[in-house]
Structure 1
């Protein structure tokens, strides 16, 4: 969808903090204690995180982040579209943006964790549409009825002669 931009931003910006607080509140309503894996503001400012915001003019539409796990693996974090912007392609553009950034950084494996509850089906469907498949838990995630881990193998870039 045309009409909005995605750029690196500081997650401590006032409107982003408000959206992230709404995201955390929603995750806490849907998922039981101990199964909310959303990052807090301090974690979102870590050097391993690249944080993005989607905006139309000055209006915040959504957020997302890429977390570097190691030299060739990364994770999608903190994906959330503002309620008023849902259905406008914001989430799809954010996922594409994060995948393209990861590929540009020579990431070969891109993972994510999302909920297994019915409320998360739209997110799982979005990720599947990009080729993500369910995978075993990675890093600190565990097998449990509330989490679905997914991964996408990114192609090895062509070497130029």
Structure 2
């Protein structure tokens, strides 16, 4: 994990967290048609199957990420977003590794995710690939979509 990044559970009530979620959703709608946006809003992220974290560098919110329990053995990475000011500094990798570690602690055997296919998502795709994720078919109710890339990784 990168030095100086603190990842902690987040109850989604803080203004900084809410603003980053709003920016995340706005970015998804700028790059994909509405039917292809699978990012969750604050209410969606409060679902009991989801654990949500925020990453902080000092007093600054650097990023967010969540783990959704699909079932006892499978989890889904949700709402990964790094604040623009902190991109390229290892925040996304730290959050992803935290999610992987928690999934393992919970006894999950695999992680899954959906990310975008447009060029804006290539850095995210590369991050996931560098952490052992491979492309796969749609999962858990997702449909084939030209704006989506589906990935999985065994734990």
**TM-score normalised according to structure 2 size:** 0.97
CA contact (8 A) 1:12 1:41 kept: no
Taking the aligned partners of 2:119 and 2:85, their CA distance within structure 1 comes to 21
Taking the aligned partners of 2:57 and 2:139, their CA distance within structure 1 comes to 35
Query: The residue matched to 1:84 in structure 2 has which SS?
Result: helix
Taking the aligned partners of 2:71 and 2:140, their CA distance within structure 1 comes to 11
Could you report, residue by residue, the CA deviation over 1:102-124 in whole angstroms, capped at 9, with x for unpaired residues?
01111001000001111111000
- What aligned pairs does 1:1-161 form with structure 2 within 5 A after superposition? 1-154=2-155
User: Tell me, which stretches of 5 or more residues in structure 1 are unaligned?
Assistant: 155-161
Which aligned segments of 4 or more residues in structure 1 are displaced greater than 2 angstroms? Answer: none
Report how far residue 4 of structure 1 moved: 1.7
- Matched length: 154
Give the aligned CA root-mean-square deviation in angstroms.
Answer: 0.7
Taking the aligned partners of 2:40 and 2:34, their CA distance within structure 1 comes to 14
Taking the aligned partners of 1:68 and 1:144, their CA distance within structure 2 comes to 23
Taking the aligned partners of 2:138 and 2:35, their CA distance within structure 1 comes to 15
Structure with the greater alpha carbon radius of gyration: 1
**TM-score normalised according to structure 1 size:** 0.94
Report how far residue 25 of structure 1 moved: 0.5
